[in-house]
Structure 1
């Protein structure tokens, strides 16, 4: 089927910018009873592009830049809602942010660049929410980039620059409610997030991050909320890659963090019970790299993380039930690097895993866990780190961890 013409949206402004491209969007309002039947198919490409050319900014520089293929948002309060949703993405999604910051930037630089294939966001308050959702992204590209490459930026107020690319996202949250249903996600996309910064001087905290994930499910409940969820996630795309390169001539507190994953499901609860059936299958290649360099530095941190399949189910109440199956046939390669001449403290870490599951309940509530777990890893898993200091320094702390399958189930006191 022939693609439609790309959807493009670009902006340039000197200080505060908001830019979003959403191809297909739906919204559901409160009803009692409420029934939502949603079907969204996006064939064309979606782009969001920004270039900031700013000189001697005396206050903050804030950027929001997002591109999304299909989006459904809804909520219910004091009633019941049933949602049936099918979202299909068959075009590329790209969000690009370019910085040209001349002179002295006195305020904090805050930037978020996001590329999303399918997004489902639902909330419930004093209600019951039932969901039957299917999200599919075909063999396309989901890409988010942030570039600050002039080499002479003086970020006097510091910086928080985040780049994220996710093929499928399903997020549910609320309080004093009940969540139940099935969430199915399949991604055949290449998912990439990159964040590059070459600066001269940052006399404040600066953090540059990148995250690339094929499938994400997050369900959060507070104030006696119950969950009964079935989650099925598959990633079959060629590559999922996150990369950060944060560089400065002189940096007081500089960090670069990269995180990549194929399938991720996180369920948290503050009351009631949590029952989760999770199925995750990955054949994509997972790559995560963080590079941090500074000639003079106070603190420098380089951290990279990559996990093919990841499940976390926790309840600060009595009961947790987990039925988990994870299969990974894709490789996981994680690398973290730091290089500096003269400075104080350097921190370097790399964590890589094929399959990870964690479950916990509340000991103060006499809680208990029922867990059935099956994990199979057939892919190579590697975590490497390189640290180079050519001058005087105070401390160097490094660590690497690579594991094929990891399972942790525990009962802990509230707040631990």
Structure 2
């Protein structure tokens, strides 16, 4: 009787093993309900990018792009759900530079973009549920974007759009027919600087010289019956964040120099669902924005600069908005806008400086409801200055300088207002 017993036992073990193997194979072939992405990036060294152009009598467009990026991750989901857990750590410098010389006549439009970024994360969702748990840290010493066009004899007949942008940490999220939620934690001790300058003789077209410097940036946009539920923490502890633009020409028809510097910035916009946001922003860095425009003869001339320590904007073109906001700034904010010219038509000069700013709104035409809890503390000097000089004659001069320590605006309004 012992032998048959051993046969039956062996048969039972074989059957059990076969069933376990079949179950394991089935589980491996059946996808889980939620997709998951685990991202971990560490950049220890410096990242540099530089271009030099020397162009004479270009007959068509001139397009230039220079970028330096520490850590970058992006992805998208459609008709499903996904959880993204991302940890990005930047410990080196990110430096991008563009030097341009244009001799003679440049007939086409000049497009030049110079970008430097520490950490970058972008995720999109379409008819899906998106959950993001993102941490970004930048302990490098510098994030810098510099662009210069330095020939006094340059004739940019087609106009120019020249941009310099430096951002330490960026999270960008987009949802369409989706629910977007999660937590974002950004911190940076890096110096962030964007500098843009041109020297030209003649520009008979539109020319925009733009610089932007941001320490921590979050942008979330969703529409078509979407919703948001986010917790955001932004901390800026670097020495300073600076944006400077200088637009100069002997004769310019439509010339603008613009500069924007921000330590912490979060912008949320939604359509077709609710928005619930918990935001904490803390800045100790010095914030500086400076825009200078000069032209001996001019048609339209503009110099505009804006500086902010902490900025939060939350809008919903639907019923429900809930905001829990806390902002603290102990860094100074200094903004200057300067124009100098001889003869022309219209001059616009503006300087805006703010320590802490929050804006929240929902749609009254939808029966909107807004609930806000707000705490703002500003312990830094805030300064805005506009200087305008017209040596000859002009048609109109419109200038303004505005500085605010703490600004809070909450309203319920129709989409067209």
TM-score of the pair, normalised by structure 1: 0.92
C-alpha separation in 1, matches of 2:46 and 2:33: 37
Residue 255 of structure 2: aligned partner: 254
**Contact kept? 2:316, 2:363, Cα under 8 Å:** yes
C-alpha separation in 2, matches of 1:62 and 1:409: 42
- Tell me whether 1:131 sits opposite 2:132 in the alignment: yes
C-alpha separation in 2, matches of 1:279 and 1:129: 22
Which whole-Å deviations, capped at 9, do the CAs of 1:285-319 have from their partners, x for residues lacking one? Answer: 00000000000000110000000000000000000
**Contact kept? 2:201, 2:250, Cα under 8 Å:** yes
Larger radius of gyration: 2
C-alpha separation in 1, matches of 2:103 and 2:175: 44
C-alpha separation in 2, matches of 1:32 and 1:50: 47
Residue 327 of structure 1: aligned partner: 328
C-alpha separation in 2, matches of 1:229 and 1:78: 21
C-alpha separation in 1, matches of 2:61 and 2:365: 45
Greater per-residue strand proportion = 1
C-alpha separation in 2, matches of 1:415 and 1:74: 33
**Contact kept? 1:322, 1:371, Cα under 8 Å:** yes
**Contact kept? 1:355, 1:376, Cα under 8 Å:** yes
TM-score of the pair, normalised by structure 2: 0.92
- Tell me whether 1:404 sits opposite 2:405 in the alignment: yes
**Contact kept? 1:32, 1:81, Cα under 8 Å:** no
Residue 91 of structure 1: aligned partner: 92
Which whole-Å deviations, capped at 9, do the CAs of 1:135-167 have from their partners, x for residues lacking one? Answer: 000041000000011111100000011110000
Where structure 2 has 5 or more consecutive residues not aligned to the other structure, the ranges are: 1-31
Which whole-Å deviations, capped at 9, do the CAs of 1:86-108 have from their partners, x for residues lacking one? Answer: 00000000010111111110001
Residue 309 of structure 2: aligned partner: 308
Residue 415 of structure 1: aligned partner: 416
Which whole-Å deviations, capped at 9, do the CAs of 1:225-260 have from their partners, x for residues lacking one? Answer: 100000000000001000000000000000000000
1:249 aligns to what SS in structure 2?
strand
Residue 178 of structure 1: aligned partner: 179
C-alpha separation in 2, matches of 1:112 and 1:60: 14
Which whole-Å deviations, capped at 9, do the CAs of 1:346-392 have from their partners, x for residues lacking one? Answer: 11000000000000000110001000000000000000010000001
Where structure 1 has 5 or more consecutive residues not aligned to the other structure, the ranges are: 1-30
How many pairs does the alignment contain? 387
Residue 49 of structure 2: aligned partner: 48
Could you tell me how far 1:63 is from its partner in structure 2? 1.3
**Contact kept? 2:90, 2:140, Cα under 8 Å:** no
C-alpha separation in 1, matches of 2:195 and 2:151: 17
Could you tell me how far 1:32 is from its partner in structure 2? 6.5
Q: CA RMSD in A?
A: 1.1
Listed as ranges, the matches of 1:252-291 within 5 Å are 252-291=253-292
**Contact kept? 2:342, 2:393, Cα under 8 Å:** yes
Listed as ranges, the matches of 1:143-158 within 5 Å are 143-158=144-159
